[in-house]
Each structure stands twice: as C-alpha cells, then as structure tokens.
Amino acid sequence: YVFFNTPICQNVLLTNIENSYEDPKVKTLKRLCATRWVQRYDAVTDFIELFAFIVESLENISNWNDSTATEANILLKAIDSEFLISLQIIQLVFSFGLPLCKLLQKEKN
C-alpha cells in the first residue's frame, strides 16, 4: 500500500517539495520491495529524507472533503514517537546489512 501512488497525491507531494527552500536529492517515494533488500534500504532512506514534505502533504490532503482526507488523517495519527524511533532503527539495521545485500544481489559474471 502506497498512499502517494495516485497522481493527485503525488502532485501534492511534488508541489510541497518544489515550493520549499530545500532541495532534496529524491523527489518521489519508492515502494518497499519484498525481495530486494537494497531497494528496501533506499525506500526507507528516501522516506526519511522526504519526511517533512510527506507530513506537510498529508496535512494539506487531510483538509480535503473525500475519503483521501480520511486516509491522510489516519496516516498523520500513525506518526508518533514509536513510529519515528522504529523508522530510525530500521534505517540503522538496514545500513548494517547493505554491503552484504549489494554483494549478494550483484549479477554473476
């Protein structure tokens, strides 16, 4: 499940990124891949880098008058200290395994 996979939600996120003074390296979120550990690390890292823009976008979307607003509110309420600490721990754990994952996922010659 990716909330920002619809064009209208992606547009809100991209608009918030473009209207800021910051210039993040990434502009979109990636899906968590069930089998590719390197992509999992990238997805978590991108989420952390775009976190402020994600929260701002969810706040903007939560003011709409449709089911998307309800979903945005649910996601905003899920962002608590436990979530934030877990996110940092996941990034740290993934970073320890990243070199091994890259080695194992490399194509054989």
Percent of the chain whose pLDDT exceeds 70: 97
Percent of the chain whose pLDDT exceeds 90: 40
22 phi/psi in degrees, rounded to 5: -80, 155
Question: Is there a contact between 4 and 29 (Cβ–Cβ < 8 Å)?
Answer: yes
Among residues 32, 87, 29, which one has the least CA distance to residue 53?
29
Q: In terms of DSSP H, where are the helices of 19-62?
A: 37-49, 51-61
Residues 6+ apart with CB under 8 A from 33: 39, 40, 43
Question: Is there a contact between 38 and 102 (Cβ–Cβ < 8 Å)?
Answer: yes
Structure tokens belonging to residue 9: 């939600």
Q: What is the pLDDT of residues 13-63, one digit of tens each?
A: 999 998 888 888 888 888 877 777 778 888 889 999 999 999 999 999 999
Inter-helix orientation angle 37-49/51-61, to 10°:
70
- Looking at residue 109, what is its pLDDT? 57
pTM of whole model > 0.85? no
Among residues 76, 31, 69, 74, which one has the least CA distance to residue 54?
76
